[in-house]
A = this chain, B = another copy of it.
Amino acid sequence: MIYLTRRERFSSAHRMYRDELSEQENYRIYGKCANPLWHGHNYTLFVTVKGSLEGDLGYVMNSSRLKEIINERVISKLDHKNMNLETDFMLGKVATTENLAVSIWNELEESIKKEGAILHCVKIEETENNFIEYYG
């Protein structure tokens, strides 16, 4: 088994809150991330796939194809968007980085399998001091 990781980036607005809670409650749970007027981040996404090196090609999967899949299914829906309001796979979810990682995993898993590799990890850096990893 060998692991290939691609880094992609996107810049989004978001807000963490739950509709059924008061603004005060949301601030208590999510801190300044609950701001109703939004804030935003430069997110860095690392997608790791794994596979064997059998065959003559010498790679896990075509890295350009991986980039295309990530851009089509994830980046195009998040970059320069409001993830709470505009990103189909985040609608109705609390916009935590944890939920974002799980949702991105679900977006990518099948497409990568079709290329003969296996999705291994979705990692998202929200700031240089915080990151989330999800292994399915």
Which residues of A pack against B, CB within 8 Å? Answer: 1-9, 11-14, 16, 18, 29, 31-33, 35, 37-42, 48, 53, 56-60, 62-64, 79-82, 85-86, 93-94, 96-99, 101-102, 127-135
Considering the complex, give the chain B residue whose CB is closest to the CB of A64: B31
Closest to A129 in B: B7
**Does the CB pair B94–A58 fall under 8 Å?**
yes
Given A2-B101, A98-B2, A82 contacting B35 (CB threshold 8 A): yes
Cβ–Cβ contact A127 & B42, under 8 A: yes
Chain B residues with Cβ under 8 A from A40's Cβ?
Answer: 11-14, 38-41
A-B contact pairs, 14 of them (CB 8 A): A1-B135, A2-B102, A2-B134, A5-B132, A7-B130, A11-B39, A18-B56, A29-B57, A31-B64, A32-B79, A38-B38, A48-B133, A56-B94, A58-B96
Q: In the bound complex, how far is the Cα of B58 from the Cα of A93, in angstroms?
A: 8
Contact partners of A14 in chain B: CB under 8 A: 40
A1 proximity list for chain B (CB < 8 A): 135
Whether the pair A53, B102 counts as a contact (CB closer than 8 A) is: yes
